[in-house]
Amino acid sequence: MTTSPPTISVQHLTRRFGDFIAVDHVSFEVQPGEVVGYLGPNGSGKTTTIRMLCGLLRPSSGTVSVLGIDVIRDPEGIKPHIGYMSQKFALYDDLTVHENLAFYAGVYDVPRKLEAQRLAEVLRMAGLEGRTRTPASELSGGWRQRLALGCALVHHPPLLFLDEPTSGVDPVARREFWDLIYELAAGGTTIFVTTHYMDEAEHCGRVGFMQRGKLLAYDTPRALKEQYLHGAAWNLAAEPLLEAVEALDTLPGIAQSRLEGDRAHVIVTPGAWTPESLTAALTGQGMTVTAVEPVEPTLEDVFTLLARR
Ligand SMILES: Nc1ncnc2c1ncn2[C@@H]1O[C@H](COP(=O)(O)OP(=O)(O)OP(=O)(O)O)[C@@H](O)[C@H]1O
Ligand SMILES: [Mg+2]
């Protein structure tokens, strides 16, 4: 079996701004056709990482290979081969949908004779066919994001960087945007996408979690849950509930307790508690526990745990 080289390979990628280390010895690989979700709190270094991968920002140290190109030696060489929908993607408000796409076709040097066909493809994919003459300024948030995605795709890049493409977009439009991402991935496009939405992360093939410039975890959602949680997420029904949530949070061996609907959601350090001993501990503090159920851990549980360390 031949294995194709990784689409992205990053080793000890580091970027300093003065004394501040925005990206700190980050290493990972992305395989062809993967959808990788990149998460982390505000200011953790996600955008800075993407900008270095796209040849827009020079790393302080480390190596970056994207589509076989050494991006540090040849930052211009990578640009025609990637699509980048930046966090503040620039659409031209007084241009129409069609004119925006045509503008980006020019930026990306799409050959004149291919332009009409490419634009038609992108309009179809993004579902924008009925809106070609609409000024960008009149599009709602979800449609703007679709147009921005289309603009990043006019040159058919095999690799797409999306920086928070769905922030501020309603749940239905987010779902539809993700359908587009899957459609692209099914067609072979490799996708690197940052998000703050856990439900989106759950749908990625692999997920990275950054904090203060460091990549704390990078794996499939399933592997992350197995590695960090060992199935130790429980929901408790207790009275009074808020008091129980707070009491649980102060117990040793409880990595986290939070309110989730009408339950207390807890992450238990493996072996620290049994449902019986935990019930007894709360009962001893004057609370009533009516149920303790093991539940499927979520990525949010994993990231909360990582962020707390
Ligand atoms: N050009 C710059 N000069 C100085 N500091 C910078 C520069 N660019 C980014 N930073 C700092 O680097 C850190 C990481 O920023 P970055 O934009 O990569 O975070 P992020 O993870 O994308 O955050 P967000 O989720 O808010 O988009 C921040 O503290 C930011 O202020
Ligand atoms: Mg950012």
How confident is the model over 80-132, as pLDDT tens digits? 999 999 988 889 999 999 999 999 999 999 999 999 999 999 999 889 999 99
Instruction: Please work out, in degrees rounded to the nearest 5, the angle formed at the alpha carbon of residue 272 by the alpha carbons of 268 and 273.
Output: 80
- Identify the residue whose C-alpha is closest to ligand 1 atom 31: 43
Q: CB within 8 A of 119, min separation 6: which ones?
A: 98, 101, 102, 105, 154
- Which stretch of DSSP H or E encloses residue 62? strand 61-66
Q: Between the CA of residue 204 and those of 87, 92, 164, 223, what are the distances in Å?
A: 19, 31, 14, 12
Whether residue 48 has its Cβ less than 6 Å from ligand 1: yes
> Given this model, what pLDDT does residue 2 score?
53
pLDDT digits (tens, 9 = 90+) for 259-300: 999 999 999 887 899 999 999 999 999 999 999 998 988 898
Radius of gyration of the chain (CA): 23
- pLDDT of 304: 84
For 198-210, the pLDDT digits (tens) are 999 999 999 999 9
Residue pair 185/32 in contact by the 8 Å Cβ criterion: no
**pLDDT classification of 231: cutoffs 50, 70, 90:** low
CA distance 218 to 215: 7
What is the location of CATH 3.40.50.300 in the chain? Answer: 8-219
Identify the CATH number of the domain defined by range 226-308: 3.30.70.100
> Does any ligand 1 atom lie closer than 6 A to the CB of residue 171?
no
Distance from the alpha carbon of residue 21 to the mean position of ligand 1, in angstroms = 10
Overall CATH class of domain 8-219:
alpha beta
> What would the two tokens of residue 146 be?
């679709």
Q: Is 88 in the pocket of ligand 1 (CB under 6 A)?
A: no
d(CA 288, CA 279): 8
What sign results for the dihedral spanned by CA atoms 209, 203, 36, 170? Answer: negative
Segments of the chain assigned to CATH 3.30.70.100: 226-308
